[in-house]
């Protein structure tokens, strides 16, 4: 504390000596940082930031601190340098208390800013951050407007390109690539003064003749965008364009508009012909297809989805960070607003899509919006296709990603039958147990203790019971009260039962709040939403279905195991599920080429966990007590998992504790300290299987460091945007195994769907089929066959074995055994054989810009 204060005083003294210091209001030192003029009278670029920061105030120039360094570094990529630019801020004074100026402050300085910009004309004013955007264009919302080419309201006629303030990306490294792309646009636009808008010819209220002529003129592919009411009961209009023409678009009105009902029926027939004849392109086109089918159309041939292609190419990109992907944000970072900012020159327009009133003007504007959606989807398709080709991902997109759309939407439509009796019974029992346990807890601790309140638990643990602090929370640094902490404190303590009680109540409350409100459709089935673009690794994700009033139930990927009996097969049917056995570990074995690991997988009935445990601990597990042997085996299962992904010793201890294993209970000769023990285990793994650490991990690190890109064994590419550090390497280690296993699973899922099986579940590497009981054997064969995708890595070919289970519901499933010779070879497959590159291919480029094709 003292050192901070001292340096603060030293800084103040420095300021006092500086001639730029003035005392404007009370004691606040207000330092003024004047703009830097370009070296010629004409600037290549005028750059407007928010206000000077500490470094700027100290040195007396704008953009000379951390954000400045970042800015100049990135601009140098586009051959633009400081001396060529006018560099200024909306407000010239530094305020130690307020990093960003308020609007009144900005407003006071607008005349000065305007004069500066006029004195040093430039073709482009680069508006960095919200403040500059507002000063220059009178707009707010930089997340929306970044990347847009705008006209300045402050200096009419002048072109503005908006971008994030570089200070933003110091904190969130991933955004660097998006800022870079926006700077690239600013520099390219600086070559000429005028604002060149895309030429658009939108027909927002076509006659029947115009519709027919347009629809009949469409070639191989049509781009479609449907607008409907939020509850999907009412179709507003359908925008259509003929790919790749993004200029001429029509919006066919289904509400209002000049056509009569009879005319519209005729147009619908023509539209259906387009769907039958053409490949259909769209943004999240599965949704449009679903709506169109609700209204009686058929859409058999989807050829491109901009959202999915963008997700495949840039899984981490997007306006929103991981943390802020909110409930209402359906598409994560891959919404059309963001995509069009990267691949088109259409200025931001997504705020225009609200139908405010029922007037002809409002409807016209709404259909213009509809047409814009189609136009930018077409332009983005052109750009994305070029990128797919450039990055060698076109094959993966068309033979894997695009083919997921129909099966996934079908599964979503299938839903799962709910056993409402079981649900009700379960709910009542949980509520009762919860009441009893809560009463017991309250009596034991002497107050009404809310187990979900960290405040209550901290009070109980540290103030009442005077227990030591074992762990602190990551962000706030407050004493943690999570399950791991409670288990640590419970170990060998008199409070074991008390903490058990707390955890029991927590578990029940989680269940009651998360999984008991579950609404089914009239057919008694529950339909969760599935997202193809939900994860960076390519896994499907599932979400709670939503309607106008909110949630209709839980998502499916974290339903507690013992609650899964509520999801069942209807009478006469069963549920059969399959997942890949130790798939990721097996992949690591073959990908690392480690002989010991490969041996473990090639030897039938070989238990590699026991083998590892025995060699690390130097004891034979058969000599141990049965109970203990099981704990030891579980322990080394976790050690195996941890080692593959570069986990540290402390994290290993935590993971073990959550599995109910206290590392203290495992005897190691000569080592007693838990952390040392964990280190010893991890070392033991690497000693036994040296290739993982000495060959496999370095290889991945090297790929990441030089190319920021990894490929999985099926050819899926992942570009990594994060800061190059240990955390990124760890994500990298998990990518190849995880992504490949996902690829194999999704392929199996698609095959089963194509063979006519009713798919009802897909959770990570598990797929579930609802089958008629008499077809059990057939279904089992189909699952086996669907999952059989041989992989070749470094000259060795292997197939990940699959575990198949069946039962009346999702919980009570028992293994289905099938003799190997019963498996008949069948040739049918849903996709033409795909080239399977085993090794990471060499991509030459090391600099990528999202939206390569934009001008």
Q: How far apart are CA 190 and CA 160, in angstroms?
A: 10
Any residues with CB less than 8 A from the CB of 468 and at least 6 apart, and which?
none
The rounded distance, in Å, linking the Cα atoms of 11 and 780 is 74
Distance CA 807, CA 409 (A): 25
Binding mask 473-512 for DNA (x = CB under 7 A): xxxxxx-xxxxxx-----------------x--xx-xx--
- Is 15 a residue that touches DNA (CB under 7 A)? no
Between 258 and 473, CB nearer to DNA: 473
Is 318 a binding residue for DNA by CB under 7 A? The answer is no
CA dist., res. 780 & res. 823, Å (int) = 9
The DSSP letter of residue 372 is H
Work out how close the CB of 482 gets to DNA at its nearest, in angstroms, rounded to a whole number: 3
Q: By CB under 7 A, is residue 531 in contact with DNA?
A: yes
For residue 557, state whether it binds DNA (rule: CB under 7 A).
yes
Piece in contact with DNA (CB under 7 A), picked from 23-31, 219-227, 447-455, 779-787: 447-455
Site for DNA in 631-690 (CB under 7 A): 645
Q: Which is nearer to DNA, 365 or 734 (CB)?
A: 734
Q: d(Cα 140, Cα 146) in Å, to the nearest integer?
A: 11
Judged by CB under 7 A, the chain residues 755 through 784 that form the site for DNA are: 763-766
Q: How far is the CB of 282 from DNA (least distance, A)?
A: 21
Among 40, 260, 420, 558, binds DNA (CB under 7 A): 558
Query: For residues 478 and 628, which CB has a smaller minimum distance to DNA in the complex?
Result: 478
Which listed range, 131-139, 450-458, 590-598, 661-669, lies at the site for DNA (CB under 7 A)? Answer: 450-458
Window of 177-185, 413-421, 448-456, 677-685 that interacts with DNA by CB under 7 A: 448-456
Out of 32, 245, 386, 450, the residue judged to bind DNA by CB under 7 A: 450
Contact 709, 720 (CB under 8 A): yes
Q: Minimum distance between the CB of residue 271 and DNA, rounded to whole angstroms?
A: 33
**Neighbouring residues of 342: CB distance < 8 A, sequence distance ≥ 6:** 147, 178, 181, 380, 383, 850, 851, 854
Quick one: 686 or 730, whose CB is closer to DNA? 730
Query: What is the phi-psi region of residue 748: left when phi exceeds 0, alpha when psi lies from -120 to 50, beta otherwise?
Result: alpha
Q: Are 588 and 737 in contact (CB under 8 A)?
A: yes
Nearest to 851 by CA among 351, 151, 314: 314
Q: How far is CA 795 from the centre of its chain?
A: 33
The encoded tokens of residue 792 equal: 């070749």
Instruction: State the nearest-atom distance from the C-beta of 411 to DNA, in Å.
Output: 16
User: Which window, 56-64, 102-110, 395-403, 539-547, contacts DNA (CB under 7 A)?
Assistant: 539-547
Residue 537 binds DNA (CB under 7 A): yes
Q: Which of residues 207, 364, 734, 834 is near DNA by CB under 7 A?
A: 734
State the number of CA atoms in the 13 A half-sphere of 749 facing the CB: 32
| Residues in contact with DNA, shown as a per-residue x/- string from 406 to 445 under the rule CB under 7 A | ----------------------------------------
Helices (H), 624-725: 626-644, 649-658, 674-688, 690-691, 697-707
Binding to DNA by CB under 7 A, coded x per residue (else -) over 146-185, reads ----------------------------------------
| Number of residues forming the site for DNA (CB under 7 A) | 59
Phi, psi of 424 (to 5 degrees): -65, -45
Structure tokens given for 236: 């507003």
**Residue 507 or 664 with smaller CB distance to DNA:** 507
Please state, in angstroms and rounded to a whole number, the distance separating the CA atoms of residues 173 and 176. Answer: 6
Give DSSP secondary structure letters for 498-546.
HHHHHHHHHHHHHHHHHHS-----TTSEE--EEETTS-TTS--EEE--E
Shortest distance (Å) from residue 346 CB to DNA: 27
Alpha-carbon gap, residue 461 to 309, rounded angstroms: 51
551 binds DNA (CB under 7 A): yes
Judged by CB under 7 A, the stretch of 251-259, 528-536, 592-600, 751-759 that binds DNA is 528-536
At its nearest, how many Å lie between DNA and the CB of residue 554? Answer: 6
Cβ proximity to DNA, 135 vs 721, nearer residue: 721
Residues that bind DNA (CB under 7 A): 315, 322, 324-327, 450, 452-457, 473-478, 480-485, 503, 506-507, 509-510, 513-514, 531, 534-537, 541-544, 551, 554-555, 557-561, 579, 645, 727, 730-731, 734, 763-766
């Amino acid at each position: 504390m003292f050192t901070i204060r001292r340096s603060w005083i030293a800084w103040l003294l420095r300021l006092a000596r500086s001639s730029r210091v003035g005392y404007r209001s009370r004691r606040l030192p207000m330092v003024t940082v004047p703009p830097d003029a370009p070296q010629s009278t004409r600037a290549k670029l005028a750059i407007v930031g928010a206000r000077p920061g500490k470094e700027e105030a100290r040195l007396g120039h704008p953009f000379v601190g951390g954000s400045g360094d970042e800015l100049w570094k990135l601009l140098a990529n586009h051959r633009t340098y400081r001396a060529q630019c006018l560099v200024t801020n909306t407000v010239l004074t530094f305020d130690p208390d307020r990093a960003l100026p308020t609007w009144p402050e900005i407003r006071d300085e607008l005349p000065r800013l305007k004069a500066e910009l006029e004195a040093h004309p430039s073709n482009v004013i680069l508006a960095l951050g919200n403040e500059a955007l507002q000063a220059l264009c009178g707009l707010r919302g930089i997340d929306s407007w970044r990347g847009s080419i705008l006209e300045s309201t402050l200096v009419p006629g002048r072109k503005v390109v908006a971008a994030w303030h570089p200070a933003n990306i110091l904190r969130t490294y991933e955004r660097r690539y998006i800022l870079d792309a926006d700077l690239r646009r600013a520099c390219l636009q600086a070559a000429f003064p005028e604002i060149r808008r895309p030429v658009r010819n939108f027909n927002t209220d076509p006659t029947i003749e115009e519709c027919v002529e347009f629809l009949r003129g469409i070639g191989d592919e049509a781009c479609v965008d449907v607008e409907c009411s939020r509850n999907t009961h009412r179709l507003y209009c359908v925008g259509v364009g003929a790919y790749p023409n993004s200029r001429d678009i029509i919006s066919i009105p289904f509400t209002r508009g000049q056509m009569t009902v009879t005319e519209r029926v005729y147009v619908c027939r023509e539209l259906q012909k387009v769907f039958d004849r053409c490949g259909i392109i769209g943004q999240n086109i599965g949704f449009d297809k679903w709506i169109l089918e609700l209204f009686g159309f058929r859409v058999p041939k989807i050829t491109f989805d901009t959202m999915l292609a963008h997700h495949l190419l840039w899984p981490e990109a997007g306006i929103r960070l991981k943390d802020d992907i909110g409930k209402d944000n359906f598409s994560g970072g891959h919404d059309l607003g963001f995509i069009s900012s990267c691949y088109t020159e259409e200025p931001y327009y997504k705020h225009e899509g609200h139908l405010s009133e029922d007037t002809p003007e409002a409807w016209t504007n709404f259909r213009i919006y509809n047409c814009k959606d189609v136009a930018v989807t077409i332009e983005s398709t052109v750009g994305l296709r070029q990128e797919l080709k450039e990055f060698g991902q076109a094959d993966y997109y068309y033979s894997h990603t695009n083919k997921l759309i129909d099966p996934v939407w079908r599964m979503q439509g299938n839903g799962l039958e709910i056993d409402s009796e079981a649900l009700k019974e379960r709910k009542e029992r949980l509520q009762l147990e919860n009441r009893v346990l809560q009463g017991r807890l309250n009596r034991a601790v002497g107050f009404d203790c809310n187990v979900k309140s960290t405040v209550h638990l901290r009070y109980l643990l540290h103030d009442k019971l005077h227990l030591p602090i074992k762990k602190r929370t990551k962000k706030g640094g407050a004493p943690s009260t999570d399950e791991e902490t409670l288990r640590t404190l419970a170990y060998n303590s008199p409070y074991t039962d008390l903490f058990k009680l707390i955890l029991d109540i927590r578990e029940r409350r989680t269940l009651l709040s998360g999984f008991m409100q579950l609404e089914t459709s009239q057919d008694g089935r529950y339909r969760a939403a599935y997202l193809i673009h939900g994860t960076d690794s390519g896994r499907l994700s599932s979400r709670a279905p939503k309607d106008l009033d909110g949630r209709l139930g839980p998502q499916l990927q974290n339903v507690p195991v013992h609650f899964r009996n509520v999801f069942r097969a209807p009478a006469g049917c069963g549920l059969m599920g399959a997942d890949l056995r130790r798939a990721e570990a097996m992949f690591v074995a073959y990908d690392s080429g480690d002989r010991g690991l490969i041996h473990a997988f090639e030897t039938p009935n070989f238990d590699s966990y026991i083998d590892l445990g025995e060699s690390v601990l130097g004891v034979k597990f058969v000599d141990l007590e049965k109970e203990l042997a099981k704990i030891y085996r579980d322990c080394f299962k976790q050690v195996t998992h941890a080692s593959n992904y570069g986990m540290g010793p402390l994290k290993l201890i935590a993971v073990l504790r959550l599995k109910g294993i206290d590392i203290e209970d495992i005897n190691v000769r000569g080592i007693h300290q838990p952390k040392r023990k964990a280190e010893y285990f991890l070392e033991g793994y690497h000693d036994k299987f040296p290739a993982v650490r000495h060959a496999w991990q370095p290889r991945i690190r090297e790929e990441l460091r030089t190319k920021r890109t990894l490929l999985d064994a099926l050819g899926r590419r992942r570009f990594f945007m994060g800061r190059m550090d240990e955390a990124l390497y760890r994500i990298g280690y998990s990518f190849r195994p995880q992504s490949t296993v996902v690829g194999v699973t999704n392929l199996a899922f698609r095959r089963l769907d194509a063979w006519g099986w009713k798919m009802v579940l897909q959770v990570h590497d598990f797929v579930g089929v609802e089958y008629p009981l008499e077809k059990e054997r057939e279904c089992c064969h189909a699952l086996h066959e669907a999952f059989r995708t041989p992989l070749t890595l470094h000259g060795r070919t292997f197939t990940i074995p699959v575990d198949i289970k069946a039962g009346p519901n999702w919980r009570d499933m028992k293994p289905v055994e099938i003799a190997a010779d019963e498996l008949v070879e069948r040739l049918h497959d849903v996709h033409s054989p795909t080239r399977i590159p085993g090794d990471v291919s060499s991509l030459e480029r090391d600099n990528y810009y999202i939206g390569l094709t934009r001008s």
